[in-house]
């Protein structure tokens, strides 16, 4: 330290407390970075790396960004997963003795972003805290700093349970203690792409009492307190907008693991990672940002409480039946800005006068929304309307205080209306009158001197002045003005009277700006006191927005209200895949029925590739999810049970990050379903076993089917290319074969996309290859090979039958021949004798013969 200059020493002292962040160190009009920060920032931000002297022989690496443009550079770093510490000058340089005092005023992290492009208006930006109480118990508390929403829950189970919950939350940052399990931290970073931060303080501060008041579990309070300490330490400002933590249980919602959400493309498409082509994309007819975020939360957490589901369906049905009121509600909601994030900005100290105008416009819509919602004439709608709060006193304050089109800056005046404050009006009059006097002075001097180009100007260095072009200087009377400045083409003058007026004008403007800023801060404090009431209205408005969105989609796409039963029956008439139907547009979608009951617990689905097996399976799951989030469903009729969990194994993709093959991913997803499913769950398995050899795959597929059938009893849809498995219908009482039909016409394959009873008769693999436009020569050769294989199989079968017939005849006339076997062969014969073929199903017999054949070949 001693060898560096005092300023560099100060930088290093501050940086020592923020080793995991880029330190933006304020020097004049720039934020500077030094040493490793400078080298790394120059690469990440693509800015010039320079150097400066710092008291040592070697120059110190340095780069910087302008103060006024820093927000854009900070956003880039945050989006790349970095933290940024903002270090400001906290002392007037004129009064400083030595180096100006500097302090970090905020630490911006991916989980604490409050504004900018990094904050998606239709998505929450959560930061979570995890506390491990033992190997199988975790406390999670999470918060969206931009909206103030705070929630907490206790989880029990494996690491996978925790990772699934974090995935549902969609957290951007996770706060833990320094002893947190390193393997689990790695898994969180890999799966969630979230950064890990450390906070040791879990002491309950009285300042947090109001936020923790609803938490009954002490373990949850520990996690919540850790998070609150981290937020206070990093943000260094008021957190008054944080809502009290609400405690929930994951068992209150349908469980959808990470794999199922990905496979069903609920909120993120597998290919593009965006929302297009997802269930969220289909349903999002919301008008407000708050409504869009609520919609995503509902999709992530479908309900399992029938009364709560029916309440939502009642409100959707009521909204759907009132077309004109719904259209008017959509128009009113368009005038409502993001009240949740406006509240956050107010509490955070970031709100400007334009934010207040947005708040005022939003609040003025509420009385009309209340009247309209009550016209729906439904008890639940009326209850929601009764809890909407227009905050009339606040609206009146903002109306009389803030001008309609204020500037962005709150420190340059021009934001407070005339008539709001007497003293301010006096200063404004002085300023305006002074400027009017200046304008009249210019007019008078032009007349008296005869110089039409004479003008009265102003700059910050010289104040007000009279400017005369050099060509007209000779027209001035000697001593009329006092020369102040000589320019190339003009002379600038002043007069005692002008300077006297200047002092009055500038003094009035300065006092006006200072007073406006002071008044604005008072108004902001007043607005802050209304935050809880604004947040309550925001929650109700977002809920109403989702109901109208569901109603709008349901009407446009002819969805029906689902009916729930407790008999574990699925009766879906003419069901459709909602997203595929929308993507198809004007093309006709082929609907399908799905009937399952106590005698049809499992459906084994066969049919060629591209025929629609996966689509059929997905549409059953999406119908259940739509119903349980409270939306109408794409069908003619739908009578279904309430599912506690949905598991899927659809699609094939290597998990390259964790180094797992397609087959391993298949097995892990299958294991997750088998280990956690109950009889009230829904399981979708698509082509299980295709990632390994044919016999291994068939054996595993059959074993999985039998296990689910005999031990779990969950409603299961199982698609396969192993036609040999269709014999299981004869053995397993609750399994039925269905197939997606296709026909050949003039040698071409035509998909009918219709689900019919019974197994498929052919695979049509070569036809599918032909549809994929593989070379004609290749298709012809594949057909030849297929014919050869089929003919050879037929010949072998005939030869085997003939051989068996001849042997039977010869046996009548010959004595048995004693054959000499090796010990290895005798062991295999003994194994063959012990097989009880009469108790085997065909698949078991085939697998046993295959194993014996392998041993003989050795």
The CA-atom distances, in angstroms, between 433 and each of 29, 418, 444 are 35, 15, 16
pLDDT at 291 over 50: yes
The residues near 612 (Cβ < 8 Å, ≥ 6 apart) are 590, 740, 751, 753, 755
Confidence band of 786 (pLDDT split at 50, 70, 90): low
What's the rounded mean pLDDT across residues 466-473?
92
Determine how many CB atoms are found less than 10 A away from the CB of residue 109.
26
Q: Dihedral of the CA atoms 832, 834, 836, 840 (nearest 10)?
A: -50
What pLDDT was estimated at residue 658?
47
What pLDDT was estimated at residue 317?
97
Of 212, 230, 229, which Cα lies nearest the Cα of 221?
212
pLDDT at 654 over 50: no
Any idea which of 37-41, 96-100, 559-563, 780-784 has the lowest mean pLDDT? 780-784
Of 174, 165, 354, which Cα lies nearest the Cα of 255?
165
Q: What is the pTM of this model?
A: 0.83
What pLDDT was estimated at residue 706?
92
Q: Which residue do the tokens 């100060």 mark? A: 10
The residues near 354 (Cβ < 8 Å, ≥ 6 apart) are 406, 408
Using the 8-state DSSP alphabet, how is residue 136 labeled? T
CB 613 within 8 A of CB 720: no
Two structure tokens written together for 83 = 């933290």
What pLDDT was estimated at residue 659?
45
Would you say the C-alpha torsion 564, 567, 573, 575 has a positive or negative sign?
A: positive
What pLDDT was estimated at residue 812?
45
What pLDDT was estimated at residue 777?
74
pLDDT at 813 over 50: no
| Cα atoms found within 13 Å of the Cα of residue 849, Cβ hemisphere only | 8
What pLDDT was estimated at residue 853?
73
What pLDDT was estimated at residue 655?
42
What pLDDT was estimated at residue 612?
82
What pLDDT was estimated at residue 298?
97
462 vs 526, which has greater pLDDT? 526
pLDDT at 657 over 50: no
29 vs 810, which has greater pLDDT? 29
38 vs 659, which has greater pLDDT? 38
CB 687 within 8 A of CB 721: yes
What's the rounded mean pLDDT across residues 148-169?
91
Per-residue pLDDT tens digits for 378-425: 999 999 999 999 999 999 999 999 999 999 889 888 999 999 999 888
CB 170 within 8 A of CB 268: no
What's the rounded mean pLDDT across residues 528-552?
97
Confidence band of 651 (pLDDT split at 50, 70, 90): low
pLDDT at 337 over 70: yes
What's the rounded mean pLDDT across residues 696-725?
89
What's the rounded mean pLDDT across residues 801-806?
52
Q: Residues of the chain with pLDDT > 70: what percent?
A: 88
SS3 71: helix
What pLDDT was estimated at residue 653?
47
Instruction: Given CATH 1.10.1420.10, say whether it is the number of domain 304-391+530-556.
Output: yes
The CA-atom distances, in angstroms, between 852 and each of 693, 829, 845, 848, 855 are 17, 9, 11, 6, 5
Confidence band of 656 (pLDDT split at 50, 70, 90): very low
C-alpha 561/C-alpha 631 separation (Å) is 8
**Topology, domain 422-520:** MutS, DNA mismatch repair protein; Chain A, domain 3 (1.10.1420)
Of 486, 507, 501, 487, which Cα lies nearest the Cα of 428?
507
pLDDT at 501 over 70: yes
669 vs 584, which has greater pLDDT? 584
98 vs 315, which has greater pLDDT? 315
| Cα atoms found within 13 Å of the Cα of residue 617, Cβ hemisphere only | 33
Distance of CA 688 to the CA centre of its chain: 30
Per-residue pLDDT tens digits for 103-137: 999 999 999 998 877 788 899 999 999 998 887 88
pLDDT at 799 over 50: yes
201 vs 694, which has greater pLDDT? 201
C-alpha 305/C-alpha 642 separation (Å) is 8
Per-residue pLDDT tens digits for 502-527: 888 888 888 888 999 999 999 999 99
What pLDDT was estimated at residue 30?
94
pLDDT at 723 over 90: no
What pLDDT was estimated at residue 262?
87
Of 455, 430, 592, 609, which Cα lies nearest the Cα of 512?
430
What's the rounded mean pLDDT across residues 656-682?
76
Confidence band of 591 (pLDDT split at 50, 70, 90): very high
pLDDT at 330 over 90: yes
Could you tell me the end-to-end alpha-carbon distance of the chain, in angstroms, rounded to an integer? 75
Confidence band of 837 (pLDDT split at 50, 70, 90): low
What's the rounded mean pLDDT across residues 612-620?
91
The residues near 310 (Cβ < 8 Å, ≥ 6 apart) are 564
Of 324, 316, 332, 346, which Cα lies nearest the Cα of 388?
332
What's the rounded mean pLDDT across residues 815-825?
63
What's the rounded mean pLDDT across residues 86-106?
88
Q: Residues of the chain with pLDDT > 90: what percent?
A: 58
598 vs 789, which has greater pLDDT? 598
Angle at 493 between CA 490 and CA 498, to 5 degrees: 140
CB 267 within 8 A of CB 296: yes
What's the rounded mean pLDDT across residues 588-595?
92
Helix (H), strand (E), coil (C) string for 695-718: HHHHHHHHHHHHHHHHHHCCEEEE
Helices 339-348, 531-556: inter-axial angle, 10-degree rounding: 160
What pLDDT was estimated at residue 343?
93
The average confidence (pLDDT) of the chain is: 87
What pLDDT was estimated at residue 841?
61
237 vs 709, which has greater pLDDT? 709
What pLDDT was estimated at residue 503?
81
695 vs 77, which has greater pLDDT? 77
What pLDDT was estimated at residue 296?
96
Determine how many CB atoms are found less than 10 A away from the CB of residue 268.
17
662 vs 567, which has greater pLDDT? 567
What's the rounded mean pLDDT across residues 693-700?
77
Binding-site residue set: 607-614
Any idea which of 131-140, 251-260, 782-791 has the lowest mean pLDDT? 782-791
What pLDDT was estimated at residue 745?
63
Four-way CATH pick for 563-774: 3.65.10.10, 2.10.109.10, 3.40.50.970, 3.40.50.300: 3.40.50.300
Confidence band of 819 (pLDDT split at 50, 70, 90): low
How much helix, strand and coil, in percent to the nearest 5, is found in the chain?
A: 50, 20, 35
What length is written for the chain? 858
Determine how many CB atoms are found less than 10 A away from the CB of residue 600.
16
C-alpha 126/C-alpha 149 separation (Å) is 9
C-alpha 653/C-alpha 585 separation (Å) is 29
What pLDDT was estimated at residue 660?
55
pLDDT at 557 over 50: yes
What's the rounded mean pLDDT across residues 35-39?
96
CATH architecture, domain defined by 126-252: 2-Layer Sandwich (3.30)
Confidence band of 635 (pLDDT split at 50, 70, 90): very high
pLDDT at 608 over 70: yes
The string of DSSP codes covering 188-227 is HHHHH--EEEE-------GGGHHHHTT---HHHHHHHHHH
Binding-site residue set for ATP: 607-614
Instruction: Given CATH 3.40.1170.10, say whether it is the number of domain 6-108.
Output: yes
Determine how many CB atoms are found less than 10 A away from the CB of residue 838.
5
Domain boundaries, the chain: 6-108, 126-252, 304-391+530-556, 422-520, 563-774, 819-858
Instruction: Tell me if 6-108 shares its fold with 126-252.
Output: no
612 vs 227, which has greater pLDDT? 227
What pLDDT was estimated at residue 108?
95
As a whole number of Å, the CA-based R_g of the chain is 38
Any idea which of 116-125, 281-290, 650-659 has the lowest mean pLDDT? 650-659
Per-residue pLDDT tens digits for 138-147: 999 999 999 9
What's the rounded mean pLDDT across residues 768-790?
64
Q: Alpha helices of 114-192 — where are they, by DSSP H? A: 159-169, 182-192
């Amino acid at each position: 330290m001693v060898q560096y200059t005092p300023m560099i020493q100060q930088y290093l002292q501050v940086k020592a407390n923020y080793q995991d962040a880029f330190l933006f160190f304020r020097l004049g009009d720039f934020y500077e970075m030094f040493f490793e920060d400078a080298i790394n920032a120059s690469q990440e931000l693509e800015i010039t790396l320079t150097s400066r002297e710092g008291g040592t022989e070697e120059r110190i690496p340095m780069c910087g960004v302008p103060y006024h443009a820093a927000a854009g550079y900070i956003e880039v770093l945050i989006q790349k997963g970095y933290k940024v510490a903002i270090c400001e000058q906290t002392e007037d340089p004129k009064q400083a003795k030595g180096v100006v005092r500097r302090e970090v005023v905020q630490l911006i992290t991916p989980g604490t972003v409050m504004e900018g492009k990094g904050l998606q208006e239709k998505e929450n930006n959560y930061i979570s805290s995890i506390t491990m109480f033992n190997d199988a118990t975790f406390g999670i508390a999470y918060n969206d700093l931009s909206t103030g929403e705070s929630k907490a829950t206790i989880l029990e189970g494996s690491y996978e349970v925790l990772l699934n919950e974090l995935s549902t939350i969609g957290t951007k940052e996770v706060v833990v203690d320094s002893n947190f399990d390193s393997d689990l931290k790695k898994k969180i970073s890999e799966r969630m792409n979230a950064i890990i931060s450390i906070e040791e303080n879990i002491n309950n501060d009285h300042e947090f009492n109001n936020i923790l008041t609803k938490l009954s579990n002490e373990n949850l309070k520990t996690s919540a307190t850790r998070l609150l300490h981290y937020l206070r330490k990093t943000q260094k400002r008021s957190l008054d907008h944080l809502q009290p933590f609400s405690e929930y249980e994951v068992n209150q919602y349908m469980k959808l693991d990470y794999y199922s959400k990905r496979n069903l493309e609920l909120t993120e498409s597998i290919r593009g990672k965006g929302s297009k082509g997802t269930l969220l994309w289909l349903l999002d007819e919301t008008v407000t940002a708050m409504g869009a975020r609520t919609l995503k939360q509902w999709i992530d957490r479908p309900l399992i409480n029938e009364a709560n589901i029916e309440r939502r369906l009642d409100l959707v049905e009521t909204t759907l039946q009132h077309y004109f009121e719904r259209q008017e509600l959509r128009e009113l909601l368009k005038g409502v800005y993001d009240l949740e994030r406006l509240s956050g900005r107010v509490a955070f100290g970031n709100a400007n006068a334009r934010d207040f105008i947005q708040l005022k416009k939003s609040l003025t819509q509420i009385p009309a929304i209340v009247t309209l919602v009550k016209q729906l004439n439904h008890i639940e709608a009326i209850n929601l309307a009764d809890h909407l709060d227009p905050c009339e006193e606040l609206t009146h304050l903002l109306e009389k205080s803030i001008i309609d089109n204020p500037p962005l800056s709150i420190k340059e005046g021009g934001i407070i209306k005339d008539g709001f404050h007497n003293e301010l009006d006096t200063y404004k009059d002085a300023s305006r009158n002074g400027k009017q006097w200046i304008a009249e002075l210019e007019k008078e001097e032009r007349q008296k001197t005869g110089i039409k180009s004479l003008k009265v100007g102003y700059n910050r260095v010289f104040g007000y002045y009279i400017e005369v072009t050099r060509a007209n200087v000779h027209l001035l009377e000697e001593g009329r003005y006092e020369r102040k400045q000589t320019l190339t083409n003009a002379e600038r003058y002043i007069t005692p009277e002008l300077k006297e007026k200047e002092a009055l004008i500038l003094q009035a403007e300065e006092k006006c700006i200072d007073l406006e800023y002071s008044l604005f801060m008072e108004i902001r404090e007043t607005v802050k006191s209304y935050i809880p009431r604004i947040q309550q209205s925001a929650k109700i408005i977002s809920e109403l927005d989702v109901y109208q969105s569901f109603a709008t989609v349901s009407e446009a796409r002819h969805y029906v209200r689902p009916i729930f039963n407790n008999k574990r029956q699925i009766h879906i008439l003419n069901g459709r895949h909602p997203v595929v139907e929308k993507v198809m547009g004007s093309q006709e979608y082929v609907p399908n029925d799905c009937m399952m009951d106590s005698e049809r617990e499992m459906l084994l689905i066969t049919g060629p590739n591209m025929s629609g097996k996966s689509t059929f399976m997905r549409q059953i799951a999406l119908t259940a999810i739509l119903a349980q989030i409270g939306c109408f469903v794409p069908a003619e009729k739908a009578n279904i049970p309430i599912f506690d969990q949905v598991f899927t194994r659809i699609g094939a993709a290597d998990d390259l990050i964790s180094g797992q093959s397609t087959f391993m991913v298949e097995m892990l997803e299958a294991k997750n379903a088998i280990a956690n499913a109950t009889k009230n769950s829904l399981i979708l398995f698509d082509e299980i076993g295709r990632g390994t050899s044919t016999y291994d795959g068939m054996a595993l597929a059959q074993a999985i089917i039998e296990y689910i059938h005999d031990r779990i009893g969950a409603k299961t849809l199982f698609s396969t290319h192993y036609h040999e498995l269709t014999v299981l219908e004869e053995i397993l009482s609750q399994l039925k074969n269905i197939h997606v039909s296709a026909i050949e016409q003039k040698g071409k394959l035509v998909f009918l996309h219709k689900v019919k009873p019974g197994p498929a008769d052919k695979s049509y693999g070569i036809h599918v290859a032909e549809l994929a436009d593989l070379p004609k020569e290749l298709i012809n050769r594949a057909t030849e090979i297929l014919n050869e294989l089929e003919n050879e199989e037929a010949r072998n079968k005939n030869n085997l039958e003939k051989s068996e017939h001849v042997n039977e005849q010869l046996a009548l006339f010959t004595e048995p021949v004693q054959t000499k076997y090796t010990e290895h062969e005798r062991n295999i014969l003994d194994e063959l004798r012990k097989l009880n073929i009469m108790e085997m199903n065909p698949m078991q017999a085939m697998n046993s013969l295959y194993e014996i054949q392998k041993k003989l070949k050795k």
